[in-house]
Amino acid sequence: MKIVDAKVVVTSPGRNFVTLKITTDEGISGLGDATLNGRELAVASYLQDHVAPLLVGIDPHRIEDTWQSLYRGAYWRRGPVTMAAIAAVDVALWDIKAKAAGLPLYQLLGGASRERVGTYGHANGQDIPELFDSIRARMAEGYPAIRIQTGIPGLKTVYGVHHSAGATAVPHQQARPVVEDWDTAAYLRHIPTVFEAVRNEFGPELPLLHDAHHRLTPIQAAQLGKDLEPYRLFWLEDCTPAEDQDGLRLVRRHTTTPLAIGEVFNSVYDYQTLVSEKLIDYVRSAVTHFGGVSPLKKLFDFAAQHQIKSAIHGPEDISPVGMAAAIHLDLAIHNFGIQEYAGYTPLTDEVFPHAYTFTDGYLHPGEAPGIGVELDEDLAAAHGYEAAYLPVNRLLDGTVHDW
Ligand code: GCO
Ligand code: MG
């Protein structure tokens, strides 16, 4: 089999998605997700201008060799743009291989290790009553675990909280970056009171998560982790910017709150210290940003040696193609932890018809050969790219802070 075409489709059925479609001389085609929120066209150009011409003529079955030649051959390694592009190729080639075998991808990854894939959903509210409504909505949808984000008294807009209570999709994207505001001391005072209120209302059993979105220093993260211990979180996510892997040693020394990190990572090297020293409990990279299924499977095997579990990043800005690839991995690996699942708009599901299902809070990849996602190219073309950026975050004195 030979690759005869590789093309990039950028579509915006509510938000932007970048999809690679690889076609072979045997008529089998594969899809890969290359969506990098706010920098979509950079990845589209990387793929269309620099990768697609190299793919034509090669044997699509040579997934590992293609991955290594794109990674090592470019000389300039790692980085979100490069790794999102390589991820799209990797997933599209797995899709082709599994279709050629007539099997759903999870069968080629070792087969099912479980019957279904547990998820967590997002609950949020400006204040406690709004948050409780949102938690009830997620519970009614069946989510077995729930991530909680709230407004902070005195701050206008905060990550993860939006204005239509109850909705799952968070419209982060805007044509110009929205400026949000931030006060770490106010946040550190407020969040433990939120978890106390939630535990009082919903009891001790509901697994609760929280995303600090890279905003704390290691000592602040340690304080928050300690303050949240009575509420037994499933995890505290991105408590500090994790480029500073050493910083996690300090956090870990002070708190038993489980820690999850990795959505902005794109290489196993970002995890070297964190995993080998057992400084975290969950690795949270997306298939789409980590170079694809091949390297993520290797990361999970490395993490398994250290009793660390998977938690593949699954926000609305990973397309259904990237989500499907994640669900196949989730079903197959032994050290599965949980899958983030925020859901998609009906129009997005129409652009990307898929075999995977979400039932009572659990995902299953389905039995269609490949990853089980198609692309409606006409509908995609009817919804072209729209310039959109993530917000920026400023302290009350105007200083730029981590978003
Ligand atoms: C999450 C993430 C997302 C990111 C988004 C950026 O935990 O799902 O923090 O909400 O902010 O993916 O593009
Ligand atoms: Mg996050």
Q: pLDDT tens across 128-174, in order?
A: 999 999 999 999 999 999 999 999 999 988 898 975 433 344 455 67
Domains of the chain: 3-105 (3.30.390.10), 108-367 (3.20.20.120)
Distance (Å) from CA 147 to ligand 2 centroid: 10
Q: Which residues are catalytic?
A: 159, 213
The answer, yes or no, to whether any atom of ligand 1 lies below 6 A from the CB of 281, is no
Name the nearest CA neighbour of 107 among 93, 92, 97. Answer: 97
- The ranges of the chain with pLDDT < 50 are 164-170
Amino acid letter, residue 370: G
Spacing, Cα 304 to ligand 2 middle (Å): 22
- Residue 209 near residue 233, CB atoms below 8 Å: yes
Q: Which residues, including other chains, have CB under 8 Å from residue 126's CB and lie 6 or more apart? A: 150, 151, 161, 163, 165
Name the pTM for this structure.
Answer: 0.96
Is the CB of residue 40 below 6 angstroms from any atom belonging to ligand 1? Answer: no
Give me ligand 2 centre to Cα 263, in Å: 6
Ligand nearest to the CA of 313: 1
Q: In degrees to the nearest 10, what's the CA dihedral of 371, 377, 383, 384?
A: 100
User: Which residue in the block uniquely carries the two structure tokens 């005869």?
Assistant: 4
Taking each helix axis as running N to C, give the angle between helix 80-101 and helix 63-73, from 0 to 180 degrees, rounded to the nearest 10: 170
Angle between the N-to-C axes of helices 320-332 and 80-101, in degrees from 0 to 180, rounded to the nearest 10: 70
pLDDT, position 163: 53
Q: Which residue is closest in CA terms to ligand 1's atom 5? A: 315
In the reported structure, the alpha carbon of residue 169 is separated from the centroid of ligand 1 by a whole-number distance in angstroms of 11
49 φ, ψ (degrees, to nearest 5): -85, -35
Cα–Cα distance measured from residue 166 to residue 180, given in angstroms and rounded to the nearest whole number? 21
Please give the distance, rounded to the nearest whole angstrom, from the Cα atom of residue 353 to the centre of ligand 1: 23
Residues β-bridged to residue 3: 24
Rounded CA separation 319/345 (Å) = 11
The DSSP secondary structure of 168-194, one letter per residue, reads ------BSSPPEEEE-HHHHHHHHHHH
Both tokens assigned to 289: 């940003």
Pocket perturbation via mutation, ligand 1, pick of 213, 285, 290 by most ligand atoms within 8 A of CB = 213
**Nearest protein CA to atom 8 of ligand 1, as residue:** 315
The pLDDT value recorded for residue 164 is 44
Residue 316 Cβ inside 6 Å of ligand 1? The answer reads: no
Would you say 370 and 98 are in contact if contact means Cβ atoms under 8 Å apart? yes
Q: Which amino acid is at 385?
A: Y
Which atom of ligand 1 approaches the CA of 237 most closely? 7
pLDDT of residue 242: 87
Task: Read off the pLDDT of residues 342-380 as tens digits, 9 standing for 90 and up.
Answer: 999 999 999 999 999 999 999 999 999 999 999 999 999
Locate the ligand 1 atom nearest the alpha carbon of residue 160 and give its number.
Answer: 10
Q: What is the pLDDT of residue 162?
A: 73
Atom of ligand 1 lying closest to residue 37 CA: 13
